[in-house]
Structures are given as structure tokens and as C-alpha cells.
DNA sequence: CGGGATTGTGAGAGAACGTA
DNA sequence: TACGTTCTCTCACAATCCCG
């Protein structure tokens, strides 16, 4: 029975158009069906069918807003699943200069669904641990000092159903970066404040304004980009 | 009324299966 | 093994729906 279920789940992602859509959605944003159609290079009606299939399989959720219909990853675990599958696919060496540059950019800083990943993501985890903003004694927890620093940076720490912090294995660094509500809020704040910029895909560009706030998190951006 | 999204339908391609 | 048939899936066009 399990093999049938596995085959069904795999079949949903086995189509190139649906896989392209899922990868696009990994940037954490909500996309319209039209945008997804353009990204996958297929007709709108075909994209709508694919979205229906992804919704039925529980991969994505459709959110109606007025006459527009937005599509987003249904839950962070789905994003992780797709991320891990992408990790497996990207183990193959990139061909061509453009793709190798893209892989290098993704390796330095990118989004993993709704939080930072890559060298930068791992450095944030290391920095927050080294400066005592995060503790590991009782699982991953935010310390009092951590809450203070995040408040100073304007990063909201809201308790909800989602854990504040948890580890997420980074596919380029083979080490953990931070996932959860706090890293998601941190990425939102970083984009909003102009610390980082997004290139429309998953790669994240570190901007000059990032030096100070990231230093407060224990990350030396100069040392990071120089290494 | 215009624009974006969905649904129904049929064509085409490829996989799976049965048979000689 | 080769061939023919059947089935499934993807795709796009056209009609329709829905909302601002």
C-alpha cells in the first residue's frame, strides 16, 4: 500500500511543468496561476489543471482574493520535501557558465521557502549560537538576550502553532541553518529594511545596509564574503 | 464591460498490454 | 520480438464564470 501511495505522490511531482511550478513557489511568495503558467511555459488553462492536481495532492493551497486566485506552498513540510528533492537533482554538476554562476549565488545566500539558507543562513545560526542569542541546552530556544536583539532589529517574535526555531539541513553547506517562525520573520524584516534583496528567483543579494544588523546577530559579512 | 481564472472537449503522444 | 490496440496523460482552444 505504501508503495502505491509513494508512487502517487511522486507522480504529482514527476511532471516537468508541475515541478517547475513547485520550484517557483519555493521562494515563499504567493503566485497567480498566470504567473505560474508563464514560469512553466505552458498555457493558462493547463497551468490551472496542474494547480488543481497539486491542490488535490496537498502540495499547494489556493487562496482566493477578489477575482485573483493565489497559489502558495501548503505548508513548510511540503517546502522541505521539494527542497530535498531539488537537493538531490542539483547534486548533478551544473552545465554552462550561467547555471554555475547561479548555483554559486544560491550557495552563498538564498531562501529556503520563507527563511535564509546557504552560507549566510548557516552563518546566522552559528552567529546567534556564538553570541548567546540562541541556546541548544533544551532544544533550540531563543534566549532573553536573543529576544532583546531581535526586538532592537525590528524582528517580531510571535508565538503561534509554528515553532519559533528549528534546524533545517542546508543542501549546499551540509550543515543546519535556522528555520521556523523567527527566521521567517527575520527574512521578512531583512527584505523590508533593505538589508537583502531578492532577484526574483531564490537567490538573495546581501546589500550594504546588512552589515550592522547581521553583526548584531553575530555574523561578520566581510569575513563571510571574503572566504 | 474587461480581465483573470476555470471548465469542457478533443487532438496528439507515449506507455502499457495482449497476441501472433 | 514485433506489432496492433487500448489507455492515460498533457496540452490548447473556446466557452463560461466571477469579480472589480
A49 CB-to-strand B distance under 7 Å? yes
Nucleic acid strand C: bases within 7 A of protein CB: 9-15, 18-20
Which nucleotide, over all strands, has the C1' atom closest to the CA of A68? B4
C1' of nucleotide C19: residue with nearest CA = A67
Which of A155, A141, A149 has its CA nearest to residue A190? A155
Separation of A7 CA and B18 C1' (Å): 25
The residues close to strand C, meaning Cβ under 7 A, are A 11, 15-17, 42-43, 45-46, 49-50, 53, 66-67
Rounded Cα–Cα distance for residues A196 and A189 (Å): 9
- Are the C-beta atoms of residues A125 and A194 closer than 8 Å to each other? no
Which of A171, A169, A133, A166 has its CA nearest to residue A152? A133
* DSSP letter string, A41-60: T--HHHHHHHHHHHHHTTSE
A45 CB-to-strand B distance under 7 Å? yes
Angle at A185 between CA A181 and CA A203, to 5 degrees: 105
Residue pLDDT tens, chain A, 227 long: 455 566 667 777 777 778 778 877 877 777 777 777 777 777 777 777 788 778 777 788 777 665 566 788 877 778 877 877 776 665 544 444 444 455 555 667 888 878 888 889 999 999 999 999 999 888 889 999 999 999 999 999 887 777 889 888 776 776 888 988 899 899 989 999 999 987 656 778 889 999 999 999 999 988 887 65
A:9-38 Cβ neighbours of strand B under 7 Å: 32-34
Which nucleotide, over all strands, has the C1' atom closest to the CA of A67? C19
Amino acid at each position: 500500500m505504501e508503495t502505491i501511495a509513494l508512487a502517487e505522490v511522486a507522480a504529482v511531482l514527476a511532471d516537468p511543468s508541475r515541478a517547475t511550478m513547485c520550484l517557483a513557489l519555493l521562494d515563499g511568495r504567493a503566485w497567480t496561476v498566470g504567473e505560474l503558467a508563464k514560469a512553466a511555459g505552458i498555457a493558462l488553462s493547463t497551468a490551472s489543471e496542474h494547480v488543481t492536481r497539486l491542490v488535490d495532492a496537498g502540495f499547494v493551497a489556493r487562496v482566493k482574493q477578489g477575482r485573483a486566485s493565489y497559489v502558495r506552498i501548503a505548508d513548510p513540510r511540503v517546502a522541505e520535501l521539494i527542497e530535498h528533492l531539488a537537493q538531490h537533482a542539483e547534486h548533478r554538476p551544473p552545465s554552462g557558465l550561467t547555471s554555475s554562476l547561479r548555483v554559486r549565488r544560491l550557495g552563498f545566500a538564498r531562501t529556503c521557502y520563507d527563511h535564509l539558507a546557504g552560507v549566510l543562513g548557516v552563518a546566522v545560526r552559528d552567529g546567534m549560537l556564538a553570541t548567546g542569542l540562541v541556546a541548544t541546552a533544551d532544544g533550540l530556544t531563543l534566549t532573553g538576550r536573543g529576544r532583546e536583539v531581535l526586538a532592537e532589529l525590528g524582528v517580531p517574535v510571535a508565538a503561534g502553532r509554528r515553532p519559533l526555531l528549528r534546524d533545517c539541513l542546508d543542501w549546499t553547506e551540509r550543515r543546519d541553518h535556522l528555520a521556523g517562525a523567527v527566521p521567517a520573520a527575520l527574512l521578512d524584516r531583512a527584505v523590508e529594511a533593505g538589508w537583502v534583496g531578492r532577484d526574483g528567483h531564490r537567490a538573495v543579494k546581501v546589500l550594504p545596509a546588512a552589515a550592522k544588523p547581521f553583526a548584531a546577530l553575530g555574523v561578520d559579512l566581510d569575513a563571510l564574503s571574503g572566504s
